[in-house]
Amino acid sequence: MKKIAALLIGIFMVTACEDVKDSQVILSDSSGNINNLSVIIPNDMWNGEVGEEIRKILAAPVDGLPQEEPLFSINQMPPEAFSSFVRKNRIFLKVEEGKEASVKLASDAYARPQTGIFVTGQNSEEIIEQLQKNASKIIDTLKATEIKEKQRRISKSLKDASKLEKNLGVSMKFPSAYRYAKEQDDFFWIRKDIPNGSMEILVYEVPLSTIQKDTNVIGNIIAMRDSIGKANIPGPIDGSYMITEEAYAPYLFNSEIDGKFAYETKGTWEVKNAFMAGPFLNYAVVDKENDRILVLEGFTFAPSARKRDNMMELEAILKSAQIK
């Protein structure tokens, strides 16, 4: 997270914008549900091309979910409404016309912790250009803020993770509501019950050659997941077990966990020979010092329910991992 924060600071010009209050003012605590974004923009712009572009970027579907859910739940308001307690929302994006074209980051402008993105331009065309050019940076900045906040909330009541550290040399922060469902020398299955479903975490290790034996990384990750699922994650009936959904290839990204390179995979799991499915997030961490791939995975089963925030919690947990 420290490297991500440093990178984002380098990407954006950190500046005190005109309407940001004096830094000496004592700031109150920020508020807001996870992934709730305030967008401050005049109503006519929101209903026009600029608003359309904002929705296209920040309400785009989350990768890897079985049903479409937006990256952020957006609450739009005109500038005159952005005052008092409304300014305490943890993440916001403010659009201002008639100024030099730029995208700037303001940290803790009206509350703490808080991340604000100011997008300016002389006209709608310049503002849209700034949004398009900086889309991925804006998303990464806001998401990093939400991951950090989720980790802060999780830290209030932690489950004892000493078993993971002793057996697999990895520490991880997850809530006390989770329980150990299976414990082996090189494999852990950790679960939490939720209404009409569950949230699951897997931690295990495999040889380096499991994924890096050839150039077909995604194929190797699928084969690894399916073999682990068959051996360790049974379904509700005899002969059923978890596999990667066969109809769609997962998304594959390059990522990092505790300073180590990791293959990040997002997709859908299913249970072979049974009607069960849901999203998963898998980090295959290349741990050369210990001659292994350390696998951290989260998946959820929540039929007929939204899953974005469940997967955000699992992502925050997995990204808290520290490898000894």
pLDDT value of position 223: 96
pLDDT value of position 26: 77
In the CATH hierarchy, which top-level class contains the domain 162-323? alpha beta
pLDDT value of position 215: 87
Using a cut of 0.75, tell me whether the model's pTM lies above it.
yes
pLDDT value of position 9: 45
Q: Which CATH architecture has domain 2-154?
A: 2-Layer Sandwich (3.30)
pLDDT digit string (tens) for 80-90?
A: 999 989 999 99
Angstrom distances, CA of residue 206 to CA of 148, 209, 314: 29, 8, 21
State the span(s) of the chain assigned CATH 3.40.1000.10. 162-323
pLDDT value of position 12: 52
Cα 304 from Cα 243, distance rounded (Å) = 20
pLDDT digit string (tens) for 16-57?
A: 343 444 445 678 999 999 999 999 999 999 999 999 999 999
Q: Are 117 and 136 in contact (CB under 8 A)?
A: no
State the span(s) of the chain assigned CATH 3.30.379. 2-154
Instruction: Give the DSSP letter string of 257-322.
Output: ETTEEEEEEEEEEEEETSS-EEEEEEEEEEEGGGTEEEEEEEEEE-TTS--HHHHHHHHHHHTT-E
pLDDT value of position 247: 82
Which stretches of the chain score pLDDT less than 50? 1-11, 13-23
